Amino acid sequence: MHPSLHGLLNVSVDRGWICYEEINSALPDEFLTPEKIDELLCLVYALNVELIGEDLRMRRGWDQYFVPLQTNLKFKRDTPWKDSAEVLADEKENDDKNEIHLHEDDDLLDEGEAQAVIAEALAEASSRRIDDPIRMYLTQMGSISLLTREEEIRLAKKIESTRFVFRRFILESDYAARQAIEILELVHEGKLPFDRTMRISTAEENAKQKVASRIPVNVKTIKTLLAANEADWERCEDGGLEKKEREDVLQTMQSRRRKIATLLEECCLRTAKIQPLLRKLQSISKKFKQIERDMAYAKKHKSQVDPDDIIVMQEEMAGLRRLVLESPEQLEARLKRIAVVFEEYDQGKRDLSGGNLRLVVSIAKKYRNRGLPFLDIIQEGNTGLMRAVDKYEYRRGYKFSTYATWWIRQAITRAIADHARTIRVPVHMIETMSKLRGIQKRLLQDIGREPTLEEIAEVADMTIEETKRVMKISRHPISLDRPVGESEDSQFGDFIEDERQQAPSETATSEMLRSRINDVLKTLTYREREILKLRYGIGDGYTYTLEEVGRIFKVTRERVRQVESKAIRKLQHPVRRRRLSSFIDQHEEGEE
């Protein structure tokens, strides 16, 4: 164990908790490897020490108990960080030796240059109204202090360590591990693109081949461990074990889960592929709570509930426990731990990106007058900055501003290429466009309304297709923030229909349909109703496979299919169908 951890763990055992910031500050770079972090987590759990985030520590008022470690770095935030001159001097010397210059302008903006950039941008926006979005954005951004090199390293360490813990907490779930195996098998079979699914380090030689060869071996081992966990879970659920034996079995299952998470980490799944597994676990947790509410209602109103439905509820509860190999309380505790770690991870990303917003503005200023509004250019640059935060590797030696510059420029140039579409219009086409605009104005004065395309084409002695093509070329893009009217209280974007949102009438119809479907489903048995909800994602939007539903109700896939078909036939009965027929007619009219 690293010497700096001895004192920290002693204090943590006495008070019962340890903070992520303390771990990140105490550990040197060479200790931040998956194996070392895994060993540390196991040790923390063994000592019965709670691992908490910075926000939770602040809310509980534990600032006076925070350990002021020598390796803490000074960080201009609400939390008072200590500074160590010797550590900073050593890191600066190493940075100077190992710095990799990717661009001649790779230095961080110093305070004077950054203030000059903001002042110049604010001066340009000073003539606008006080609620000008650009001015408001620049004013708010000016209140965020710049990050030093040491602060960048500290935040990068925090992001790396919390991301690792976040991934492990999810992958230690048996259900999430099974889902991850399915993804890996699809990659191995070539049904999913390797590069878009796996995260491979470009610095390591033949990394792709190594990971590809590792997948089938690890998947086979993981399946064996999962099968052992399922067998042990059945032993625990049967109730034939003593309390001590049950605790030993659960401890063995947890040990296997850590091995499973380690094997999955070796396969290098992208975090973007792991995060959806968290949402599925949250959906199962909500299902647990819904069944518990139904069972509580059934217990309170026994005369109103069929006894067979109560039995099915109990079977479904036991089936969900078999699906995740955890009790509702254990799953809820896991989700709370994941939420705490994810908040720390997300906060680290926000701090690192927020401290470099001025870099985005300084780069965006060079791309003005390219066909996109300045605020849009800044926003595109911010998307590139967020990508840089996800992919930054501080151990390579170059500064974050150096790395982020390339991602910001790439995002801006791509956006300009996609949206600006700057095309040189020939002179003869400009003359034709001017001619058509003159005809359009003259017809507007003569007939008192906007002329149609056919009327313009007839006066211009041109075909309708040619007139349409010229009118399309003559269009100019306008900003959604453009004021409309003399009072300038409204903007052009307020009058544009949002096609992603439903109309109020459609929303009301959807709510009525949802209510009517729930009423019709209540005419089925509890088992039929629950199987349809799980198979078609009614309620939470997440669908379950035949195998997963069969595991929940402890029946075969074929039996699930039979119950599903029987339930659908019941819904097609004229009495039930009549209650939904009006919505079917409306849908057909909408398609016509």
Residue 83 located in a structural domain: yes
Residue 340 located in a structural domain: no
Residue 158 located in a structural domain: no
Q: Which CATH number goes with the domain that contains 456?
A: 1.10.10.10
Residue 303 located in a structural domain: no
Residue 22 located in a structural domain: yes
Three-state DSSP state, 490? strand
Residue 516 located in a structural domain: yes
Under-70 pLDDT residues of the chain? 1-7, 20-21, 24-39, 41-42, 45-46, 52-132, 202-205, 420-425, 427, 476-477, 479, 486-488, 584-592
Please tell me the predicted confidence (pLDDT) of residue 136: 76
Q: Are residues 50 and 125 in the same domain?
A: no
Please tell me the predicted confidence (pLDDT) of residue 98: 43
- Of the candidates 105, 138, 161, which is a domain's last residue? 105
Q: What is the pLDDT of residues 502-555, one digit of tens each?
A: 777 778 878 888 888 888 888 888 888 889 888 888 877 788 888 888 888 888
**CA 383 to CA 388: how far, in whole Å?**
9
Q: Are residues 181 and 265 in the same domain?
A: yes
Three-state DSSP state, 108? coil
Please tell me the predicted confidence (pLDDT) of residue 580: 75
Q: Are residues 404 and 489 in the same domain?
A: no
Domain that holds residue 37: 3-105
| Residue 61, Ramachandran bin (φ over 0: left; ψ between -120 and 50: alpha; else beta) | left
**CA 117 to CA 364: how far, in whole Å?**
11
What token pair was written down for 74?
Answer: 């000074």
Q: Are residues 471 and 559 in the same domain?
A: no
Please tell me the predicted confidence (pLDDT) of residue 74: 34
Q: Are residues 482 and 408 in the same domain?
A: no
Please tell me the predicted confidence (pLDDT) of residue 75: 34
Please tell me the predicted confidence (pLDDT) of residue 68: 43
Q: Are residues 400 and 459 in the same domain?
A: no
- Of the candidates 105, 135, 159, which is a domain's last residue? 105
**CA 570 to CA 228: how far, in whole Å?**
40
Angle at 462 between CA 459 and CA 466, to 5 degrees: 130
Q: Are residues 90 and 178 in the same domain?
A: no
pTM of the complete model: 0.64
For CA atoms 350, 356, 359, 361, the dihedral sign is: positive
Residue 307 located in a structural domain: no
Of residues 575, 584, 527, 569, the one with CA closest to residue 550:
527
Please tell me the predicted confidence (pLDDT) of residue 102: 39
- Of the candidates 388, 420, 452, which is a domain's last residue? 420
| Residue 354, Ramachandran bin (φ over 0: left; ψ between -120 and 50: alpha; else beta) | alpha
Q: Are residues 415 and 433 in the same domain?
A: no
Please tell me the predicted confidence (pLDDT) of residue 371: 72
Q: Are residues 183 and 281 in the same domain?
A: yes
Please tell me the predicted confidence (pLDDT) of residue 263: 93
Q: Are residues 40 and 93 in the same domain?
A: yes
Calculate the alpha carbon distances from 514 to 16, 507, 539, 583 in Å.
48, 10, 9, 11
Residues 564, 531 contacting (CB under 8 angstroms): yes
Please tell me the predicted confidence (pLDDT) of residue 80: 37
Q: What is the pLDDT of residues 353-398, one digit of tens each?
A: 988 988 998 899 888 877 778 888 998 999 999 999 988 888 888 8
Question: In which residue are the tokens 């910031």 written?
Answer: 21
Residues 192, 186 contacting (CB under 8 angstroms): yes
Q: Are residues 59 and 136 in the same domain?
A: no
Q: What is the CA radius of gyration of the chain?
A: 31
**CA 365 to CA 400: how far, in whole Å?**
20
Residue 295 located in a structural domain: no
Please tell me the predicted confidence (pLDDT) of residue 409: 92
Q: Are residues 407 and 431 in the same domain?
A: no
- β-pairing, 50-52 vs 17-19, is parallel
Angle at 7 between CA 86 and CA 166, to 5 degrees: 90
User: How many separate domains does the chain show?
Assistant: 5
